[in-house]
Structure 1
Amino acid sequence: MKVLVTGGAGFIGSALIRYLVLEEKISVINLDKLTYAGNLNSLKEVEGNSLYQFVKGDICNSELLDQILEQQQPTGIIHLAAESHVDRSLDAPDAFIDTNIVGTFQLLKAARKYFSTLTEELKKTFKFHHVSTDEVYGDLADSGLLFTEETSYDPSSPYSASKAASDHLVRAWGRSYGLPIVVTNCSNNYGPYHFPEKLIPHVILNAVFGKPIPVYGDGSQVRDWLYVEDHARALFTVFKNGKLNSTYNIGGHNEKTNLEVVKKICEVLERLKPEKPNGIGNYSELIEFVKDRPGHDIRYAIDASKIAKELNWSPIESFETGIEKTVQWYLENSWWWSDVLNHKYELSRLGDKTV
């Protein structure tokens, strides 16, 4: 098995590659443009491993895609390359349209062309796995319902709208052209190597430095939290055994309000790092409520019963165990996040391997 992973230098992509190479011993080609959130330091554990190759490139580059597929002859594609930060999509949506929609379109075109060259035997095992988000479903508000694979799409932000469009394109290529596809929609991920602009690492690092911890609105927005290593296992499970032309929702069974998440992080830090900066009494004193962002969805919640029943997957980590591991990782790995905060990791983009 040889898998082309797009966006493998990102948070979820790097977790998936570490799992595929180190746990499953699978050959991986990592195609990543190395935008601001793409960080090769997240893949130090697989550097030099004979099963791992990195290619710097853009999924919008059709010639490059054709070249990689022809040269590498992968047995499947797991597509994670995407712009993913809601706030950035509100300020500058162009990149989200380019990468999430146009990039997915280019990748689908290249995959279809490559698939047509395979023998009938190889066609039976090839799969295009598109990794998406539960945000495409919109806002559950106070309905008490859960997102299922049949929930209608109702995206709220440029980010979720662009991901919804990419989901539709993938399914259209499966139905119209016979490309063997699967789609997964996941809930909010967290864990090691998470880019500091995201809620959980942002809270951890602000607390460590004694800086204000901003919370949108009153912090009552609810998300289902999924430990990233659980997600990596789920992605491989679907890639390997998922039914073609199917969708699987992947969730952590951990609904928490944003304020609950922030307070839990402060509680864990009280135990793991009791010595505090700037003479503060408790980490929770740093919490500051700020103006809510436009179109902020109130609640997301995943029904992950399908993947549990059909593929026997369920998360290993509870939120309590996962957040403990996450906070501990950030406290022990300042080498990673200090380079991110100082933008030093960007120097690694010079001289990267290309084809």
Structure 2
Amino acid sequence: MKVLVTGGAGFIASWCRRELIARGHQVLVMDHQDRRQQLADGEEFFLGDVRDATAVTEAAAHVDGIIHLAAVLGTQETINNPKPSAETNILGSLNVFEAAAQYNLSCVYAGVGNHAFRTIGTGCYTITKSAAEDLTRMYNLYRDGGRITTVRPVNAYGPGQSIAQPYGTSKVRKILPALTCRALTGADIEVYGDGTQVSDCVYVEDVARAFVTALEHTAVNGPTEKPVEVGPLESRTVNDIARLVAEYAAKVTGREPVGIKHLPMRPGEVPNAVVSSDTSTLAQIGMTAADFVPLEDGIRRTVDYYAQSWLPGWLEGAEVSV
């Protein structure tokens, strides 16, 4: 199968591409930034934006299936500037679904793990991604060629995830890079709220396996009855995750574990929130969360990655600036 991966230069997309190639598929990477220098064997590049219906239709004409990951991310960021997320996450997704229906392609759409928050107040990211998920149901029910499975991962983490300011250039804060970079540099970890909220994390390699498996399933059997929710069997609080990061970072650096500092919650964050998964839905595609990378092992791999690939450059820059 030749598979179009939208948002193909992104974090989850890069792992999906590896998984597709490992399973013998070909990949057409679509991204609005020219990243063709990052291509591996078995991959081609298509420069385009999902907001451009013509570009999406042209890319879809050359593939057998689509994994749709292109999106504008961020909770707080999309509250202050909602239009880009609406344009990309709703209209861009509509372009993808329309092209998939036109060519009768199997498609997997990346939903959000906190989809339920749309009823109690959250950022435009969740609102727009959930609206696009509503469109998948419409296509599956009423449109010829509608063959879309929704996969809802909770917080994906692992090697290669972008780092937000002040430790990196990303404008969107992700939980594991944010905690890890502070712990590795000896700064107290910052947790928004009291840390008792549940915000489940799932290792990105398992997320990629779920996306590719869902696409293969959809190609043969059609879309799943329910969205496929991807997360761990056991939920943990944000405080639990922060402590694990602090403890393993201390082993890596040889220092005492850093502390945990609690900050006021930000707009779009829900006190006492529970972001978790109904992992029984994985059975629809023949998977089980029992096979997923345990949180302790995933955090070890992630901290090791940033300690080796990011920390030396950060320390060198800090020495130069002194």
Question: Shorter-chain TM-score: which interval?
Answer: 0.7 to 0.9
Percent of aligned pairs with the same amino acid:
28
Counterpart of 1:284 in structure 2: which amino acid?
V
SS in structure 1 at match of 2:186? coil
- Contact 2:74–2:123 under 8 Å retained in 1: no
CA RMSD of aligned residues (A): 2.4
Q: What corresponds to 1:244 in structure 2?
A: 222
Deviation at 1:112, TM superposition (A): 2.2
> Alignment partner for residue 154 of structure 2, among 187, 201, 206?
187
> Alignment partner for residue 296 of structure 1, among 266, 269, 280?
269
Deviation at 1:40, TM superposition (A): 4.8
- Contact 1:223–1:300 under 8 Å retained in 2: yes
Would the alpha carbon gap of residues 68 and 320 (structure 1) be closer, same or farther in structure 2, given more than 3 Å must change? Answer: same
Q: What corresponds to 2:248 in structure 1?
A: 268
- Contact 2:157–2:204 under 8 Å retained in 1: yes
**Which 5+ residue runs of structure 2 have no aligned equivalent?**
164-172, 318-322
SS in structure 1 at match of 2:232? coil
Residues in 2 aligned to 1:83 and 1:269: alpha-carbon distance in whole angstroms:
31
- Report matched runs for 1:198-277 at 5 Å: 198-242=174-218, 243-246=221-224, 247-274=227-254, 276=255
Would the alpha carbon gap of residues 254 and 13 (structure 1) be closer, same or farther in structure 2, given more than 3 Å must change? Answer: farther
- Report matched runs for 1:49-198 at 5 Å: 49=41, 51-70=42-61, 72=62, 74-115=63-104, 126-138=105-117, 156-178=122-144, 179-196=146-163, 197-198=173-174
Q: What corresponds to 2:18 in structure 1?
A: 18
Would the alpha carbon gap of residues 60 and 336 (structure 1) be closer, same or farther in structure 2, given more than 3 Å must change? Answer: farther
Deviation at 1:75, TM superposition (A): 0.8
SS in structure 1 at match of 2:200? strand
- Contact 1:234–1:313 under 8 Å retained in 2: no
1:147-180 alpha-carbon deviations (Å, 9 max, x no partner) = xxxxxx7663211111110101121112121311
TM-score calculated relative to the size of structure 2: 0.85
**Which 5+ residue runs of structure 1 have no aligned equivalent?**
116-125, 140-152, 277-281, 342-355
Count of residues in Structure 1 that have an aligned counterpart in Structure 2: 298
Counterpart of 2:258 in structure 1: which amino acid?
S
Q: What corresponds to 1:317 in structure 2?
A: 293
Would the alpha carbon gap of residues 155 and 254 (structure 1) be closer, same or farther in structure 2, given more than 3 Å must change? Answer: farther
Residues in 2 aligned to 1:48 and 1:299: alpha-carbon distance in whole angstroms:
38
Residues in 1 aligned to 2:88 and 2:108: alpha-carbon distance in whole angstroms:
17
Deviation at 1:201, TM superposition (A): 0.6
1:69-118 alpha-carbon deviations (Å, 9 max, x no partner) = 23x2x111110111222121122221111110010111222222233xxx
SS in structure 2 at match of 1:307? helix
- Contact 1:230–1:316 under 8 Å retained in 2: yes
Q: Does 1:7 align with 2:7?
A: yes
